Amino acid sequence: MDNNGKKLVLGGLVALVFLLVVGFAAFGSQLTIKGTARVSTAWDVHISSVVANKFVGSAQNVSSTIEESGLAATLETDLKAPGDSVTYDVTVVNEGSINAKLSDINFHQSQAQEAADVEGYKPSITYAYTGIDTQSEDTKTKLKPGESVTFQVTVTFTKDFDTKTFTEAQIENQLELVLTYVQDTTA
């Protein structure tokens, strides 16, 4: 066989081998599945509004403000006569993406401390709150994302208080109400 002939045979064999390889490779596939998962959490429980809603007697709301962070609110009330009272509606909202629950309520009045320390001392002003607790299954305790609760804080000039016997400590009563919300992992 001359050179040309040999070349032809060789070329043919190479082509045949190539076809066999391609044919073999065609019978196999790789399927690739890619995924991305992201944790996107946001914790945001805050006070959204404070409104003086109910007035008894000649009581006046001096101011009711919420701090920029939404984590604190300040109320200032002017009570003129025994029996006067103002009730504030306070709204707390869960604008985050995590279930929350009210785990603790810390309620402290400065005059109550005086009353505890001094025998016979009677507070002239009292505070009270309703509409929230730490034991309920509804929004009084638990706030899912998007939910809110409105509770009441009432400040009262003690009705039968004898104003002639005012002490300096009894002219003013300061309230500190601290609500502690935590993640509700039971929901």
Partner 1 sequence: MNKKGKKILIAGLFIFMLILFTAYGVFNANLNIDGTASISSKWDIHIRSIIADNIIGNAKSLSASVGDSGLSATFEANLISPKDSITYKVIIINDGTIDAKLSDINFYQSQSGDNAAIKYSYSGVDINDKLASGNTAELQITVTFTGDSAEEVDDDFENQLKLILSYVQDK
Task: Give the separation between CA 47 and CA 41, rounded to whole angstroms.
Answer: 20
Residue 41 vs 135, nearer CB to partner 1: 41
Least CB distance from residue 12 to partner 1, whole Å? 19
Minimal CA–CA distance to 174: which of 117, 138, 120, 127?
A: 127
Task: Give the separation between CA 157 and CA 125, rounded to whole angstroms.
Answer: 5
**Helix, strand or coil, per DSSP, at residue 149:** strand
Task: Give the separation between CA 61 and CA 54, rounded to whole angstroms.
Answer: 10
Residue 34 vs 164, nearer CB to partner 1: 34
Least CB distance from residue 137 to partner 1, whole Å? 18
Residue 41 vs 69, nearer CB to partner 1: 41
Assigned token pair, 136: 């309920």
Least CB distance from residue 154 to partner 1, whole Å? 34
Least CB distance from residue 63 to partner 1, whole Å? 34
Residue 1 vs 37, nearer CB to partner 1: 37
Please measure the distance between the N-terminal and C-terminal CA atoms of the chain and give it in whole angstroms.
Answer: 87
Binding site for partner 1 (CB under 8 A): 26-43, 97-99, 145, 183, 185
